[in-house]
Amino acid sequence: MKEETEEMQLRSGASIKKIDSAEASKKNYLTRPTLARMHLMPTGEPVAFEVAPDGSVVYYFDPTKVTEAPPEIWYFPRSRKDSMTLPSGNVIERMSVKNAALCGYYPEDKLKRMHYEVEEEPVAYTVKSDKSILYFYDKKTARKLPQMCVKCGKDIRYRRKLCEKCYEKDMEVRRREGDAYRNASYNMDRARTLFFDLELTGVYDHDEILSITIVDGYGELVMDTLVKPARNKSWKRTEKIHGITPDMVTDAPSMDELAPKVREIFDNADHIIAYGVSTDYSHIKYIYETEEERNKLHDKVWCCANEFVRYAHENRPDLRHASLTDAMACFNIEWEGIAHSSIADTLGCRKVWEALFPNYYKN
């Protein structure tokens, strides 16, 4: 590092200024060796730096942002407690590779493999079996190096571990394959294609169904009913989302009463589609008694969310979320009814599916 540098940018993007030891002392800043003697470790980034006469960097830390060092390092009895004085005059202690890793300290060659470049002087050391010295450096103050494209190896990574040129070429292939998949003719029967959604008391296995909506490929309601849970008496957290209160389901049929009708509906379907299948399937599968029946149901179930995620990766990589709301906004689809009710979610899922697969049904 050049001595005339007055400011340094850390990996986080924060900038710290160069100061001298006298100014650091006035502000009660602590160097790493001082922290080590006090059995402390920094929890935050350096707040300032100084360039030592040998050109190495000395970082200063805020004394209010420190924590007690791990007991494995300082408080367990050890057979030896050696130290070494560096050319800068700083003293570093000997520690094992394991204890160094607990502090986030690594040898220079390992940091290079992790794509970091050492800037600060060593913070600890160990003695290898051949009596040579192995220095440890703090990963927090090492500089993150740009990684190269895994395909061409020539340019810096942009996305998906690829440089911008390789990424765009890869995306062209993905889009072409994805468009061919989505625009294919699937010849499905609208009457035998079902969309469904459940509202639940929660997302865990012990939670229960509160409402179920089933719609066919024509958009006609096949079933839309509230469900009275057998065990749960309140569900305040999910009530805020779907708006179903305990009073609303007092006179509703139970899932046991509805199961024969739901089985009949599902058994007559070719495909059953939901937005985010895993949670809904994990609850609706219990209307079937045997594993064989559940597997037959699973084979019919398709996930609209998975298909939208693929579309978004290929066509809208800027999207960071893939909820039903995001999918509907992506295709400019308006809600029918109250969002997050089972009927609105089912109708929304159907429209998203048909936007993704415009040739899904028979002509």
* pLDDT score of 185: 96
Question: Of the ranges 34-38, 118-122, 154-158, 259-263, which one carries the lowest mean pLDDT score?
Answer: 34-38
Range 289-312 average pLDDT? 96
DSSP 8-class letter at 206: T
**In the predicted model, is pLDDT for residue 3 greater than 60?**
no
Range 73-100 average pLDDT? 76
**In the predicted model, is pLDDT for residue 283 greater than 60?**
yes
**In the predicted model, is pLDDT for residue 81 greater than 80?**
no
Range 106-133 average pLDDT? 92
DSSP 8-class letter at 27: T
Helical packing angle, 304-315 and 342-356, nearest 10°: 50
Phi, psi for residue 218 in degrees, rounded to 5: -85, -10
**In the predicted model, is pLDDT for residue 43 greater than 60?**
yes
pTM: 0.65
**In the predicted model, is pLDDT for residue 79 greater than 50?**
no
Which residues, 6 or more positions from 345, have their beta carbon under 8 angstroms from its beta carbon?
Answer: 197, 213, 275, 324, 339
**In the predicted model, is pLDDT for residue 85 greater than 50?**
yes
pLDDT tens by residue, 332-363: 999 998 888 999 999 999 999 999 999 999 97
* pLDDT score of 77: 46
Confidence label for 74 from pLDDT (cuts 50, 70 and 90): low
Range 79-102 average pLDDT? 83
Contact of 168 with 245, CB cutoff 8 Å: no
Range 113-142 average pLDDT? 91
Which residues, 6 or more positions from 360, have their beta carbon under 8 angstroms from its beta carbon?
Answer: 186, 188, 193, 353, 354
Contact of 271 with 188, CB cutoff 8 Å: yes
* pLDDT score of 41: 85
Range 311-337 average pLDDT? 93
Contact of 99 with 72, CB cutoff 8 Å: yes
* pLDDT score of 75: 52
**In the predicted model, is pLDDT for residue 207 greater than 60?**
yes
Residues of the chain with pLDDT > 90, as a percent, come to 66
Residues of the chain with pLDDT > 70, as a percent, come to 95
* pLDDT score of 1: 40
Instruction: Name the residue with higher pLDDT: 89 or 60.
Output: 60
Measure the CA–CA gap between 74 and 72, rounded to whole angstroms: 6
Cβ-based burial of 195 (10 A; exposed 0-12, middle 13-18, buried ≥19): buried
Phi, psi for residue 330 in degrees, rounded to 5: -60, -35
Question: Of the ranges 7-21, 213-227, 284-298, 316-330, which one carries the lowest mean pLDDT score?
Answer: 7-21
Mean pLDDT of the chain: 90
Residue 4: CB atoms within 10 A of its CB come to 7
**In the predicted model, is pLDDT for residue 117 greater than 60?**
yes
**In the predicted model, is pLDDT for residue 42 greater than 90?**
no
* pLDDT score of 78: 47
pLDDT tens by residue, 209-266: 999 999 999 999 999 999 999 999 999 999 999 999 999 999 999 999 999 999 999 9
